[in-house]
């Protein structure tokens, strides 16, 4: 089990994305498990004076006077704080039992050697961690983060009324970092779930949790952005806030001013492992879908379209005659996938899904994160200067993809004659390179490699005859007895390379 509070480097400037669950290895009571050197336990801070009222800007002549007032979170904290829980976890990790470093000449060498296991014995060492969660059902169903309970052998839930229960992990989904717990209790307070899609930048929100083990802590701030992709292969489009979130807040609720949960506090963006004004929450829409699946079946299924995508920059927008650099550019379509069956092609730009605009490429997987296998989606695709409507039935992300064409080529050719692994040029590659037809050489082995053919070359012809398919190449090579002449495009140069076969 990982030490909750470990930080993961995500930028060249050593900024870190910290998972917000305070963990302690070895069970040192009261220690703060944040992975930085200057963290110290502080005495409780005195309550700051109430902030001065916000002054309204000067009134413009002829315009009604505007007033600005700060929200009062006391009612929300009092009512919904009862449904926020503290989560403690315990697990084990393997550690080596090693002999102290003493040299053979040391008088204590023989004494210590008799206790040393020559096989390098290991023993189980306890690992402790902590986080937050919130009750969504009166019969004890609790939502939290998957990373809070990852690797846990024992999970204890402490309620706001100080009662404690042993919890069962009903299920966990690392892809969205959502987990569902169940405790044996009835008539528990719950929090209402809101709609994260209605959130607006600048809207007030607050978090309730147990940062550094300090239970029932309330912090507030505003929504900094929505639909934020963190570039870590997550399907989640996070809610970014400036709410103070620290290790131990993980799994706690993010609430709007109506007292509705709009997100699960999950990650922070930090140089030190502590709060620096960048906090990220999982939208409750995504978490609720995961919860419903886990409660119903004990597992989670994710939908899959079957494309690899990239951002549309200004250069691509100009190339494809787009009015703005928006959308998800389809770089590759997986064979046998939902995308291929729907008619998507490499070079298409997905602009909308079910009428929802796709601005950046991360919006596409983020939009599909709330879909289920078998769901039908309408895709508005920019192709050849116009919008084309395609309808796709989403597949299951756990299904194994069809064998890639280039793998089939390698299996059939087996490198016995040419030793080439080939695939057709994608439409976008044709546009960028200016090559009308040919086959990309993905790998060169055996005779081809000896002759000087290299991965990344484009095969244009064999024995003077243009080739556009792998079958053509196999046929021509099969009819040749000693050697073949390959016309290769390498950068801006075209060269013939003779290759002996056999």
- Tens of pLDDT, residue by residue over 193-249, are 999 989 999 999 999 999 998 999 999 999 999 988 876 556 788 999 999 999 999
Predicted pLDDT of residue 27? 31
Question: Among 132, 172, 173, 177, which one carries the catalytic annotation?
Answer: 177
Predicted pLDDT of residue 314? 87
DSSP letter at 71? Answer: -
List the alpha helices (DSSP H) in 58-100: 74-80
State the CB neighbour count (10 A cutoff) for residue 197. Answer: 13
DSSP letter at 194? Answer: -
**Catalytic annotation on 302?**
no
Alpha carbon distance 33, 308 (integer Å): 38
Question: Among 210, 250, 279, 337, which one carries the catalytic annotation?
Answer: 250
Alpha carbon distance 217, 322 (integer Å): 49
Q: Which residues of the chain have pLDDT under 70?
A: 1-68, 93-123, 231-234, 401-417, 427-428, 431-432, 481, 502
Nearest to 287 by CA among 127, 144, 427: 144
Domains of the chain: 1-28+73-300 (2.40.10.120), 303-396 (2.30.42.10), 405-500 (2.30.42.10)
DSSP letter at 66? Answer: P
**Catalytic annotation on 337?**
no
Which stretches of 334-398 are assigned E, i.e. beta strand?
A: 349-353, 356-357, 376-383, 386-393, 395-396
**Catalytic annotation on 147?**
yes
Predicted pLDDT of residue 490? 87
Beta-carbon-side half-sphere exposure of residue 484 (alpha carbons within 13 Å) = 28
Over the stretch 177-186, which tens digit does the pLDDT of each residue have? 999 999 999 9
Predicted pLDDT of residue 502? 59
Alpha carbon distance 322, 327 (integer Å): 10
pTM (2 decimals)? 0.65
Distances (CA, A) of 102 to 34, 119, 121, 443: 33, 18, 18, 52
List the alpha helices (DSSP H) in 176-311: 284-297
Question: Among 147, 279, 302, 346, which one carries the catalytic annotation?
Answer: 147
Over the stretch 399-453, which tens digit does the pLDDT of each residue have? 776 555 444 444 444 434 677 888 887 766 776 677 877 888 888 877 888 888 8
């Amino acid at each position: 089990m990982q030490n909750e509070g470990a930080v993961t480097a995500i930028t060249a400037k050593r900024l870190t994305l910290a998972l917000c669950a305070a963990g302690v290895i070895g069970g040192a009571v009261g220690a703060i498990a944040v992975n930085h050197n200057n963290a110290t336990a502080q005495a409780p801070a005195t309550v700051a004076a109430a902030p001065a009222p916000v002054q309204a800007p000067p009134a413009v002549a002829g315009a009604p006077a505007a007033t600005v007032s700060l929200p009062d979170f006391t009612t929300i904290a009092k009512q919904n704080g009862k449904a926020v829980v503290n989560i403690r976890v315990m697990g084990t990790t393997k550690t080596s039992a090693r002999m102290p470093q003493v040299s053979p000449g040391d008088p204590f060498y023989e004494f210590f050697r008799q206790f040393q296991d020559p096989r390098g014995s290991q023993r189980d060492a306890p690992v402790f961690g902590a986080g937050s969660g919130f009750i969504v059902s009166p019969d004890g169903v609790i939502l939290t983060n998957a990373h809070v309970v990852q690797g846990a052998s024992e999970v204890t839930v402490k309620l706001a009324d100080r009662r404690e229960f042993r919890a069962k992990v009903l299920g966990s989904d690392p892809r969205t970092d959502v987990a569902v717990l169940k405790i044996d209790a009835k008539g528990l307070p719950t929090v209402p779930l809101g709609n994260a899609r209605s959130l607006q930048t600048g809207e007030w929100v607050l978090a309730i949790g147990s940062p550094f083990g300090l239970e029932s802590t309330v912090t507030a701030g505003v929504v900094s952005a929505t639909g934020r992709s963190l570039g870590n292969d997550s399907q989640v489009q996070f809610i970014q806030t400036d709410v103070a979130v620290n290790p131990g807040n993980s799994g706690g609720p993010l609430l709007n001013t109506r007292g509705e949960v709009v997100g699960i506090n999950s990650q922070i963006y930090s140089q030190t492992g502590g709060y620096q004004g960048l906090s990220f929450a999982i939208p409750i829409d995504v978490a609720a879908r995961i919860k419903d699946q886990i409660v119903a079946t004990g597992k989670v299924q994710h939908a899959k379209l079957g494309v690899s995508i990239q951002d549309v920059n200004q250069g691509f927008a100009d190339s494809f005659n787009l009015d703005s650099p928006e959308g998800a550019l389809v770089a590759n379509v997986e064979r046998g996938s939902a995308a291929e069956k729907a008619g998507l092609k490499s070079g298409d730009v997905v602009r909308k899904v079910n009428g929802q605009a796709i601005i950046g490429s991360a919006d596409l997987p983020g939009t599909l994160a709330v879909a289920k296998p078998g769901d039908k989606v309408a895709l508005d695709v920019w192709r050849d200067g116009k919008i084309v409507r395609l309808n796709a039935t989403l597949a299951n992300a756990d299904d194994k993809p069809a064998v890639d064409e280039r793998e089939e080529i390698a299996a059939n050719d087996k490198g016995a004659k040419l030793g080439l692994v080939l695939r057709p040029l994608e439409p976008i590659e044709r546009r960028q390179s200016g090559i009308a037809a040919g086959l990309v050489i993905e790998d060169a082995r055996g005779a081809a490699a000896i002759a000087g053919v290299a991965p990344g070359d484009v095969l244009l012809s064999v024995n003077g005859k243009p080739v556009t398919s792998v079958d053509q190449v196999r046929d021509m090579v099969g009819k040749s007895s000693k050697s073949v002449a390959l016309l290769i495009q390498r950068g801006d140069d075209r060269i013939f390379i003779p290759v002996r076969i056999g």
